[in-house]
């Protein structure tokens, strides 16, 4: 017989291996049925789901309106969908690059470029939306700090500080998903 959800949550939050294995097993039940291009993506989805569960449970987001298993598997489904969409965006981006630039046809280079895009897409999905907004203004709209400050209502110095902090956050996220 399965232990009560509250016990599993307490153990999971304390780092109990058995409770981690229980939750990760529920997540893997969902992810194993999704057709991903490679096992690394499956492992990434499991890892992202478990991290989100940890964060959500720490923040008290689980409302106990369903079982913990249902909650975990619902998050796994959404993370799987996000991964599929991200991969499709990467493929579309790579097709655009192929049509507009002279990217290498050497398979390792193509895969490295796609993996780098996939990594960037994952970082942008995990980082604070304010960082994404500022980066879009800098890199896509090519605005100067002064123009960004005017749009956001921040001082120019605050924009520079925020950009620096966003970069630090992105590097920290990259370190956890590589």
41-59 per-position pLDDT tens digit: 888 889 999 999 999 999 9
Quote the CA–CA distance of 72 and 77 in Å, as a whole number. 9
Tokens read off for 13: 């939050």
pLDDT digits (tens, 9 = 90+) for 95-133: 666 544 444 444 445 445 667 777 787 888 888 889 989
Q: Kindly state whether residues 100 and 29 are assigned to the same domain.
A: yes
Q: What is the CATH number of the domain that holds 148?
A: 1.10.10
Q: Is residue 120 part of a domain?
A: no
Q: Kindly state whether residues 131 and 102 are assigned to the same domain.
A: no
Q: How many domains does the chain have?
A: 2
The model's pTM is 0.54
Structural domain boundaries, residue 66: 1-106
Tokens read off for 121: 């897409």
pLDDT value of residue 116: 73
Q: Is residue 91 part of a domain?
A: yes
Q: What is the CATH number of the domain that holds 44?
A: 1.10.1740.10
pLDDT band at 37 (very low <50, low <70, confident <90, very high): low
Assess whether pLDDT exceeds 90 at residue 142: no
Residue 134 backbone dihedrals phi, psi, to 5 degrees: -65, -40
């Amino acid at each position: 017989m399965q232990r009560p959800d509250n016990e599993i949550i307490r153990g999971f939050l304390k780092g109990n291996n058995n409770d981690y294995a229980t939750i990760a097993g529920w997540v893997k039940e969902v992810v194993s049925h999704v057709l991903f291009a490679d096992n690394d993506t499956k492992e990434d989805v499991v890892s992202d789901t478990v991290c989100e569960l940890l964060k959500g449970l720490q923040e008290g987001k689980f409302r106990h309106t369903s079982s913990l298993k249902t909650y975990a598997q619902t998050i796994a489904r959404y993370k799987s969908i996000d991964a599929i969409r991200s991969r499709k965006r990467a493929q579309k981006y790579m097709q655009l690059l192929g049509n507009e630039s002279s990217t290498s046809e050497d398979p390792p280079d193509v895969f490295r470029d796609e993996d780098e895009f996939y990594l960037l897409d994952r970082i942008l999905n995990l980082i604070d939306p304010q960082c994404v907004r500022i980066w879009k203004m800098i890199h896509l709209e090519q605005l100067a700090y002064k123009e960004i400050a005017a749009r956001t209502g921040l001082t120019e110095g605050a924009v520079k500080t925020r950009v620096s902090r966003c970069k630090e956050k992105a590097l920290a996220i990259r370190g956890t998903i590589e």
